[in-house]
Structure 1
């Protein structure tokens, strides 16, 4: 048995005896107080304050109740006091090493951070989704209001148009009835009464309108005549310019052809004058060295004849181009080459 437990029990018994003795003293004191006269309950007045003595019987009763509650509390504490702990000593930490514990702590910390991050992301996603749903709901509500407002506006516009058409028809009918009544008036009465200001204004406006139309038509006719004259003038100037260009081109071509004919006639006379002499030389004299001989050889004569033939064809092409200006030069050269430089044959072929 624990000796400390025994000492506590002894102390508790001693305290209980002292409490009982004190309670007996309180009871005797309360009896003595009850014996006191009733005059002790009267208030006592002193300088600046009044003192009322308490009821001794009630006070003693409250003291007994409080003392009993304290004793009960002390008794309950003694009964429910925990006993001594009997546990065999052992080494803390188990069979796990320090490194493994650190690794587990680090892994747990990383997992906790990751879980916290994932939880935060989930919360943010849920919040954004809730905000989007709220925004969409508000948009739908505003769209519905706008559609209702638009429909209401269209209905009001249709009603306004109907009222306007109705008023317009009523005014037209009233105006027609007024005109009919005015037309039913006898001619004598109408001729005797002077014309109204509205009729005079209407006639004046009609006359002004007719005058404006006539003046506008006259201006249009004048503008049309001016444009026609200007167009004819431009056409005439264009024709004159084309005629001048054609005359200039014909003049240049004629001058060029004249020069070509003069050049060709000079070469032909030279060839005719030199041909008999060359024939005599070939018949009488023996062949000499080509470098020292002043007379041309047959190859040179063939070259000169080819050049003259090209010149004749060029002259024929120029003549045909002056006559048929709408044809290309290459086409005319092809025609002349097919006709072997014959001008009349090429002319007949192009004219056909």
Structure 2
């Protein structure tokens, strides 16, 4: 036990392998010697880049470094843009798929609803026909010819709807009548206010005219200071303004008034009124016309009356 046996190699084969390996080594050594590089012969040159200075080299290196950073940044942005575009396309595709599914589901629901409505209408019609047939079989007299009150649920519902409709019509008519009455009362009130306003304006105009006539009579009798104005508007009329006519006097005598009135009988009243409006723009045209007509178209007399 524990013994072993050795098989001696074949000498001829061993020698052959050794010779082949030795030959290959010799061939390799010969190839290296034949292809050995020769000596390098270069002309002497100055190191450091020739005529380029150190600052130029540093600037060139800095420019290349900045360009490389910019190039990397652009490449990164391009990659991000492509990535976002791919993500958006993917999301859009998913949205389209979901939208298509939703449309299909909605169409399916609509079809089911239509089918259900058709079945419901069909069943309702069948039940109504069956109910009418039972009523016809149970009653000896037809429903249309019977004078009794219908007792079916449909008839009661119809009567209830008719009653509700009549009540709504009555309430609507009542509301319309109330609105019409309110509008009539409002219109009458507005008319009454307009009439009161016109009456008040007419009274004020008559009061002003009477005050002017009284003042005219008082000027002839020399009692100007004893009269008082009737209204506040009358007090605004008495403003001191000298006439532009140089031949006129502030207080003419009766003989002079008669002479002026005789000389200006042919004067147009409209022209006198327009001339007075330029002087007394705060007075109304109707008031000025009444004053001019009372003065028989005499501009100076009307001006003196208004300028007291």
* Aligned residue runs from structure 1 range 219-230, under 5 A: 219-230=171-182
Shift of 1:130: 2.3
The answer for unaligned runs of 5 or more in structure 1 is: 1-41, 44-51, 59-66, 192-197, 272-298, 318-327, 344-352
State the distance in 1 between where 2:40 and 2:166 align. 134
- Alignment correspondent of 2:183: 231
Structure 1 residue corresponding to 2:251, chosen from 301, 304, 326: 304
Q: Secondary structure at the match of 1:94?
A: coil
Partner of 1:160: 112
1:142 to 87, 94, 101: 94
How big is the shift at 1:216? 3.3
The corresponding residue for 1:110 is: 62
Residues 1:241 and 2:193 aligned together: yes
| C-alpha displacement of 1:98 | 7.5
Change in Cα spacing, 1:255 to 1:118, as seen in structure 2 (3 Å) is closer
Separation in 2 of the partners of 1:102 and 1:96? 9
* Alpha-carbon spacing, 1:237–1:91, altered in 2? closer, same or farther (3 Å): same
The one of 176, 198, 203 aligned to 1:251:
203
Count of residue correspondences: 244
Give the 3 Å change call, closer, same or farther, for CA 159–305 of structure 1 in structure 2: same
- SS in structure 2 at match of 1:225: helix
Residue 332 (structure 1) aligns with = 286
SS at match of 1:188: coil
In the alignment, the residues of structure 2 paired with residue 170 and residue 253 of structure 1 have an alpha-carbon distance, to the nearest angstrom, of 86
Q: Hey, what's the Cα distance between the residues in 1 that align with 2:158 and 2:52?
A: 114
The alpha carbon displacement at 1:165 in A equals 4.2
Q: Deviations over 1:122-159 (max 9, x none)?
A: 42243134214412431442243134224413431442
CA distance in 2, matches of 1:76, 1:257: 153
Question: Following the alignment from structure 1 to structure 2, what is the Cα–Cα distance between the partners of residues 167 and 85?
Answer: 102
**Whole-Å separation in 2 of the counterparts to 1:128 and 1:145:** 26
Match in the other structure for 2:217: 265
Q: SS in structure 2 opposite 1:231?
A: helix
Deviation at 1:221, TM superposition (A): 3.5
The alignment yields a C-alpha RMSD, in angstroms, of: 5.3
**Higher RCO (CA 8 Å, separation ≥ 6 residues):** 2
Change (3 A) 1:54 1:130: farther
The alpha-carbon distance between structure 1 residues 210 and 155, as it changes in their structure 2 partners (threshold 3 A), is closer
> Could you say which structure has the higher helix fraction?
1
Check 1:125–1:335 CA distance in 2 against 1; reply closer, same or farther (3 A cut).
same
Equivalent residue for 2:76? 124
Q: Please state whether the residue corresponding to 1:226 is helix, strand or coil.
A: helix
Which residue pairs with 1:280 in the alignment? none
Unaligned segments of structure 2, at least 5 residues: 10-17, 144-149, 224-245, 261-268, 274-281, 298-308
Structure with max Cα Rg: 1
Distance 1:332 1:77 in 2: 142
- Alpha carbons of 1:175 and 1:95: their partners in 2 closer, same or farther (altered >3 Å)? closer
Change (3 A) 1:123 1:54: farther
Looking at structure 2, the residues matched to 133 and 112 of structure 1 have their Cα atoms a distance apart, in angstroms, of 31
